[in-house]
């Protein structure tokens, strides 16, 4: 793939969104009994589907929720083709603190005639709706023209299970072709309680779910593989709880791993990345790792894991951070947050919009105090505390001031005694700060230099409370703005 791989993936994977379904989109026409489960079966045939290389416009849900909604997608794309696919995934409850929504754990199949089928188990996909609250089955079908065609109203479907699905239950997700009926079966079955939900849709003459050998998706953004999808109210740069997709009966030969996140309303991408080539599972039981922007994925021939691959879970604390620059200027880069998430050291470039990060409880985080691009004579710096310990939820807005180094000097002509050096007031980091010149020697006409960084902006009002880095030696006063 060309050097525009990242952009293409952002565009194509943005199409992969299951819609957040309002009550009208809930579908309940499931059969009275679950169809049979069909194990994974690989096909050695050549697929007519091609990957394509032309970027397409971002597409979010048909009717995204109001306000900013960020769609995070973590995926695994198979390189092999199949006539049926069966994967297990645990029912894991996770809830976004802002939206109250949870993720969907999805099995995806791209047919050899270009239709794309999705089925999965979700948690609180449409909070307050029934179905939509708790664990439900999600499903959706897209045609080759990038149009959602099933359910018929064009939005993602949500089915209630026939019985109880408990936290931690293993749910089997199944996609297969019913060739006799020319249909694709999409179903989910709780292996502990036998609760199930199922849907069917025309196969349109298709017979194979096509793998991708030279890209993570085709030009429509469709692929065959696994995906963890979750809508967030703020940009999300962290691991969720560990979720493991598994098929112990079939070993993949290779697969792509990828991650992306975009604003579902503006369709602006936040980040996107993938493995440079498919991971080859020559040792089928050895997990291989992929990480990007605070997110971890692992895979071997039998498993796909999102989140930290460990038997224990690290408690995390939400840290919401943003920054702003007073005085403008060019040539600087945004500050960088360094923190620990699920035991892994992570860095993230900050945004001027409030962004939430999940930091390991009790761990230390820090942000660049002086922006990269600063020099001896010009800098962008904050005098706020830019480090902390994650003890409780916290919001931080760091203000950086554009400052210049200015040299001052004075001299006395004619000598004399009994005077004190002149007082100089500068504005730095929004505060009026007195500077004192050093005393002159007893000789006339000798200057006494001093220097200080001066902000390019007018100081705040006099009733602003001084930070704890030391009291002002003189009363505060306003100074006029510098000449532009």
In a domain, 325, yes or no: yes
- Do residue 354 and residue 283 come from a single domain? no
In the prediction, which pLDDT does 140 show? 95
Looking at the domain assignment, is residue 434 inside a domain?
no
CB-based burial of residue 399 (10 Å sphere; 0-12 exposed, 13-18 middle, 19+ buried)? middle
**Higher-scoring residue by pLDDT: 364, 83:** 83
Q: Which of 306, 336, 363 is the last residue of a domain?
A: 306
- 240 versus 341: the higher-pLDDT residue is 240
Q: Is the pLDDT of residue 22 over 90?
A: no
Residue 457, CA atoms < 13 Å, CB-side half-sphere? 18
- Given a cut of 50, whether residue 116 has pLDDT beyond it is yes
Domain membership of residue 255 (yes or no) is yes
What pLDDT was estimated at residue 25? 47
Q: Does 477 fall in a domain?
A: no
The pLDDT-based confidence of 121 (bands split at 50, 70, 90) is very high
Predicted confidence (pLDDT) per residue in 246-290, tens digit: 999 999 999 999 999 998 888 888 889 999 999 999 999 999 999
Mean pLDDT across the stretch 450-468? Answer: 47
Q: Is the whole model's pTM more than 0.95, yes or no?
A: no
The pLDDT of residue 360: 81
Query: Cα separations (Å) of 343 from 19, 133, 288, 363, 458?
Result: 33, 31, 17, 9, 43
Same domain, 164 and 95: yes
Nearest CA to 75 among 114, 107, 103? 107
Q: Please tell me the predicted confidence (pLDDT) of residue 334.
A: 94
Q: Is residue 441 part of a domain?
A: no
Q: Are residues 294 and 320 in the same domain?
A: no
Query: Are residue 101 and residue 199 in the same domain, yes or no?
Result: yes
Rounded to the nearest integer, the mean pLDDT of the chain is: 80
Q: Does the residue 142 lie in any domain? A: yes
Structural domains in the chain (count): 2
Q: Over the stretch 33-83, which tens digit does the pLDDT of each residue have?
A: 767 899 999 987 765 554 444 333 344 554 555 667 899 999 999 999 999
The token duo for 248 is 């112990």
Residues 271 and 395 in one domain: no
In terms of domains, do 258 and 199 share one?
A: yes
pLDDT(442) > 80: no
Between the ranges 111-120, 259-268, 360-369, 439-448, where is the mean pLDDT highest?
111-120
Residue ending a domain, choose from 346, 377, 402: 402
Q: How much is the pLDDT for 484?
A: 36
Residue 339 domain-assigned (yes or no):
yes
Where is pLDDT greater, at 360 or 281? 281
* Separation of alpha carbons 230 and 246, rounded Å: 20
Residues 72 and 170 reside in one and the same domain: yes
Residues 284 and 395 occupy one common structural domain:
no
Query: 265 and 374: one domain?
Result: no
> Do residues 344 and 301 share a domain?
no
Provide the pLDDT confidence category of residue 28 given band limits of 50, 70 and 90. Answer: very low
- Classified as helix, coil or strand, 12 is helix
Q: Which residues contact 426 (CB under 8 A, 6 or more apart)?
A: 406, 432, 433, 435, 452, 453, 454
Model confidence pLDDT, tens digit, residues 162-188: 999 999 999 999 999 999 999 999 999
SS (H, E, C) 402-439: EEEEEEECCCCCCCCCCCCCCEEEEEECCEEEEEECCC
Q: Residues 339, 291: one domain?
A: no
Greatest alpha-carbon pair distance for the chain in Å reads 110
Q: Comparing 427 with 353, which gets the higher pLDDT?
A: 353
What sign does the CA torsion over 280, 108, 1, 299 have?
Answer: negative
Task: Residue 341: give its domain's CATH number.
Answer: 2.60.40
Lowest mean pLDDT of 59-73, 214-228, 245-259, 432-446, name the range.
432-446
Residue 415 lies in a domain: no
Q: Verify that 330 and 187 share a domain, yes or no.
A: no
Domain coverage including residue 156: 5-306
User: Domain boundary at 276, 306, 336, which?
Assistant: 306
- Helix, strand or coil for residue 11? helix
Q: What is the pLDDT of residue 62?
A: 47
């Amino acid at each position: 793939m060309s050097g525009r791989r990242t952009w293409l993936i952002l565009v194509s994977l943005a199409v992969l969104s299951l819609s957040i379904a309002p009550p009208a989109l809930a579908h309940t026409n499931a059969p009275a009994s679950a169809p049979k489960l069909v194990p994974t079966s690989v096909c050695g045939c050549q697929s007519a589907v091609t990957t394509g290389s032309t970027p397409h416009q971002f597409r979010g849900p048909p009717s995204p929720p109001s306000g900013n909604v960020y769609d995070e997608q973590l995926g695994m794309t198979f390189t092999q083709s199949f006539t049926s696919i069966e994967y297990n995934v645990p029912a894991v409850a996770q809830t976004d603190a802002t939206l109250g929504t949870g993720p969907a754990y999805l099995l995806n199949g791209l047919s050899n005639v270009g239709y794309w089928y999705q089925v999965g188990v979700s948690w609180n996909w449409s909070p307050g709706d029934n179905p939509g609250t708790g664990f439900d089955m999600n499903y959706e079908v897209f045609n080759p023209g990038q149009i959602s065609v099933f359910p018929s109203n064009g939005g993602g479907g949500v089915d209630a299970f026939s019985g109880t699905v408990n936290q931690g239950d293993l749910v089997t997700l199944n996609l297969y072709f019913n060739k006799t009926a020319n249909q694709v079966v999409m179903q989910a079955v709780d292996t502990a309680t036998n609760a199930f939900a199922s849907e069917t849709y025309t196969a349109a003459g298709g017979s194979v779910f096509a793998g991708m050998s030279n890209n993570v998706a085709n030009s429509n953004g469709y692929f065959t593989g696994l995906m963890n999808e979750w809508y967030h109210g703020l940009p999300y740069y962290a691991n969720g709880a560990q979720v493991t997709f598994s098929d112990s009966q079939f070993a993949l030969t290779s697969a792509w791993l990828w991650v992306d996140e975009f604003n579902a309303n503006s369709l602006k991408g936040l980040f996107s990345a993938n493995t440079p080539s498919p991971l080859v599972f020559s040792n089928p039981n050895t997990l291989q790792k992929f990480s990007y922007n605070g997110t971890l994925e692992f895979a071997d021939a039998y498993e796909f894991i999102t989140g930290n691959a460990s038997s224990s879970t690290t408690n995390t604390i939400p840290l919401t951070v943003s920054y702003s620059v007073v005085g403008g200027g060019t040539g600087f880069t945004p500050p960088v947050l360094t923190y620990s998430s699920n035991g892994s050291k992570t860095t993230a470039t900050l945004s001027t919009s409030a962004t939430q990060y999940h930091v390991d409880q009790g761990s230390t985080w820090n942000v660049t105090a002086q922006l990269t691009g600063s020099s001896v004579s010009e800098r962008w710096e904050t005098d706020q505390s830019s480090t902390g310990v994650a003890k409780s939820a916290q919001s931080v807005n760091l203000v950086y001031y554009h400052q210049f180094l200015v040299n001052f000097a004075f001299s006395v002509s004619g000598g004399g005694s009994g005077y004190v050096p002149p007082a100089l007031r500068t504005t730095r980091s929004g505060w009026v700060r007195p500077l004192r010149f050093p005393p002159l020697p007893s000789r006339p006409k000798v200057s006494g230099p001093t220097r200080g960084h001066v902000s390019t902006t007018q100081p705040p009002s006099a009733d602003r409370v001084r930070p704890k880095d030391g009291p002002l030696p003189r009363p505060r006063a306003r100074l006029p703005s510098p000449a532009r």
